[in-house]
Structure 1
Amino acid sequence: MKTIPCNPKASDEVRSVLNYFSKIEGKGIITGQHTQTMAQEELDYIHQVTGKWPALCGFELLGYSPNINYEDSGEECLLEVAENQDTLQKAWEWTQKSKGLLTFTWHWFSPLNGRDKSFYTEHTDFNVSKAIIEGTKEYKALLSDMDHMAEILREFCDKRIPILWRPFHEADGTWFWWGSQGPKIAKQLYRIMYQRYTNYHNLTNLIWVWNSPLVQGYVGDDVVDIISRDMYPPAHQHTDLSKEYEELVAITRTSKLAAIGEIGPIPCVESLSTSRIPWLWFMTWSQDFGKTEKFTTKEELQRAYHCDYAITLDKLPKLY
């Protein structure tokens, strides 16, 4: 069964990816890894341990936020931003050389009144409830940042590269400014971006991924292609996450593809091959989650990537 994109103007490449996802649902899980530096040590670690590469690679856009307050930021923040610089080059290499699947995470530095890591609520005085009201300075700042990022995404659109776009991630929590005043406002922010990117900027290469398991926080089927959630189980706990899957798909009565947007210890791929819980992909988070044994042992990683149920880069067909 084909999956129809929520954007009627979606590119052929988006449709190709979604059709592929529909075919593999419950028949395999796409391996994924987040990165946020030029070094991409997480990918090298996976390849060193397993001899394989993930089929889906995540890249971080925090350093491309237009309103980073360099004067009022600590050393940790400045280092994180510096290490993230120029990582779009790696995203281009991934798509041009590897032809792998691509996703972006945007830890969006506050459009106004931010300091230090201002994607965190505690580091900004940005009034997000005013940002959804047309004509306010907050709304204008919100759109200005969106437009800035749209130009970065446009380059991928022009090259017809599909992107799994997961904006306002973890909107069920209050730790990021976009979720700081509850799911109702977070939903409106997402809809503002969807309309802006779909109708104004005509970004036809985006596959829209919602990232929250809250029923009352769901933004709506009309602007979502894939539902997802982030999970951080205890270190070395590997299951098929069946309970978490049932909680996620309960947010809508429509049959939606479902994915793991972020995870600490990887799911048990062997268990998934038996239970067939139809997680579409898993994305291990970066840094120690993806390049050490603190959360997943080398043996577990090896078993996962060599399981017949795992879809690694070498098993991925040409989709764009």
Structure 2
Amino acid sequence: MRAHFSTWLVAAGLSVSATTSLTAAPDAAEIHGKKTAILSYMAQLPAQKKTLAGVQVNEFEVYIDCTSADRLTEMTGKRPAVLGLELMNAIAYPPYPSYLIDRALTQTAAGGLVTMAWHQRNPVEVCQRGEYYECAKKAMSPETLKAVLTPGTKENALWLADVRAMAKTLHKLRDAGVVVLFRPYHEMNGGWFWWGKQEALPELWDALYDELVVREKLDNLIWVWSTDRDAPDAAKYFPKRHKPDMVGTDMYENDADTPKFAAAKTNLTKLGGAAPFAVTETGKAPGAKVLDAINPSYVLLWGDHLNVNWTWNGDCPQCNKPGEVAAFIKLPRIVTLDEIPAALKTTIARDTTNPRPLHKSNPVCPAKLR
């Protein structure tokens, strides 16, 4: 067990007000208990015909009071059971980790779940803006990826440096008792990220797992493997040594009830077996018939797609029209933060507090003033 002392706070880039109290970190048994309880609940939800509602708070939102989660609350009167966050910018953009951790602490202390994506920058390219999203889309050749996965190469050293730098944030979350539904190298069957369409993707996933779990001893991660849309070629990219705890699909279609949801469920459960299935990202909120057919453990609405009227020019065919998200939240099967079983919320929140958060808990957002 490790205590949180002032040196830890300085290293974390946090003030006392943005952290838990100066107490010992949870031991391995407590973290294991939290993970087991979360995964068990996820696995039980389909039989109950229940689905957790989630929303993504992107990297540009963590500093402000009115995030997508706050706007969802204003639209529906409910807070998300699952809060999505982004590890991009955790390395090169202080004080970003402070605000990221702050959001995760508040959600966990309330008994809610936290999921995190990592749009990792291409580690062998010059990224003019550090970890700017565009650098995750700088292509990498299969030959370079092979070098990245070969110990002793310069390419491998650069990849390891980023992994270990990002892991510092995961360690701080672990020491605060936060379990993370960790979703790296997502949409790997698409060709827009440097890890996309790579035959060596399973090796990359396994290498990251080895670094974070075996070497870094991060036991607070629930590993989520998610494809783009229906992924008929998903088997090419499925991990070989370290199987995911959950599988999911990212769905951006003009049709909220696209048959690609059902195809994704079929294709991914063939690979994941008993692993819970989720809609790990979506623009449009799926309707009741789709949800009943695919029975996902959770649905994560992408934050800047909540209302087409909030986009910069109103041209977003994959965004929700006014009222559609509120109708989604009102579906009988949807579970929001207040509806998570009390015993589970107590388990999730144990030893995690955020007594002086960096943001307002109930901000007045512009949409509320209209």
Q: TM-score range by the shorter chain?
A: 0.7 to 0.9
Q: Which moved more, 1:213-222 or 1:182-191?
A: 213-222
Equivalent residue of 1:127, what SS?
helix
Q: Which moved more, 1:293-302 or 1:104-113?
A: 293-302
Offset of residue 166 of structure 1:
0.4
What's 1:104 paired with? 116
Percent sequence identity is 24
Pairing 1:244-255 to 2, within 5 Å after superposition: 244-252=264-272, 254-255=273-274
Return the match for 2:306 from 268, 275, 290. 290
RMSD: 2.9
* Preserved contact between residue 113 and residue 125 of structure 1 (Cα < 8 Å): no
- Cα distance in 2 for partners of 1:301, 1:101 equals 20
* Preserved contact between residue 46 and residue 291 of structure 1 (Cα < 8 Å): no
- Counterpart code for 2:269: V
Q: Which moved more, 1:117-126 or 1:22-31?
A: 117-126
Equivalent residue of 1:45, what SS?
helix
Change beyond 3 A, Cα 1:28–1:276: farther
State TM-score, norm by structure 1.
0.82
**Cα displacement string for residues 269-296 of structure 1 (whole angstroms, at most 9, x for unaligned residues):** x2256x3522111111132x13545521
Pairing 1:72-151 to 2, within 5 Å after superposition: 86-96=99-109, 98-116=110-128, 117-122=134-139, 127-151=144-168
Change beyond 3 A, Cα 1:82–1:206: closer
* Preserved contact between residue 33 and residue 57 of structure 1 (Cα < 8 Å): yes
Larger radius of gyration: 2
* Preserved contact between residue 35 and residue 60 of structure 1 (Cα < 8 Å): yes
Q: Which runs of 5+ in 1 are unaligned?
A: 1-7, 69-80
What's 1:266 paired with? 285
What's 1:49 paired with? 75
2:252 corresponds to 1:232: yes
- Counterpart code for 1:30: L
Structure 1 runs (4+) greater than 6 angstroms displaced: 81-85, 123-126
- Cα distance in 2 for partners of 1:62, 1:126 equals 25
Equivalent residue of 2:256, what SS?
coil
- Cα distance in 1 for partners of 2:180, 2:142 equals 31
What's 2:312 paired with? none
What's 1:170 paired with? 187
Equivalent residue of 2:236, what SS?
coil
**Cα displacement string for residues 10-45 of structure 1 (whole angstroms, at most 9, x for unaligned residues):** 711100101111111242111111112123531122
- Counterpart code for 1:134: P
* Preserved contact between residue 104 and residue 163 of structure 1 (Cα < 8 Å): yes
Change beyond 3 A, Cα 1:110–1:45: same
- Counterpart code for 2:239: V
* Preserved contact between residue 62 and residue 106 of structure 1 (Cα < 8 Å): yes
Offset of residue 247 of structure 1:
2.4
Q: Which runs of 5+ in 2 are unaligned?
A: 1-28, 129-133, 310-315, 349-370
Number of residues of Structure 1 aligned to a counterpart in Structure 2:
293
Change beyond 3 A, Cα 1:315–1:220: farther
**Cα displacement string for residues 64-116 of structure 1 (whole angstroms, at most 9, x for unaligned residues):** 134x8xxxxxxxxxxxx9989833322222222x2210011111122232234
- Cα distance in 2 for partners of 1:31, 1:221 equals 31
- Cα distance in 1 for partners of 2:154, 2:214 equals 22
* Preserved contact between residue 9 and residue 204 of structure 1 (Cα < 8 Å): no
- Cα distance in 1 for partners of 2:258, 2:73 equals 23
Equivalent residue of 1:54, what SS?
coil
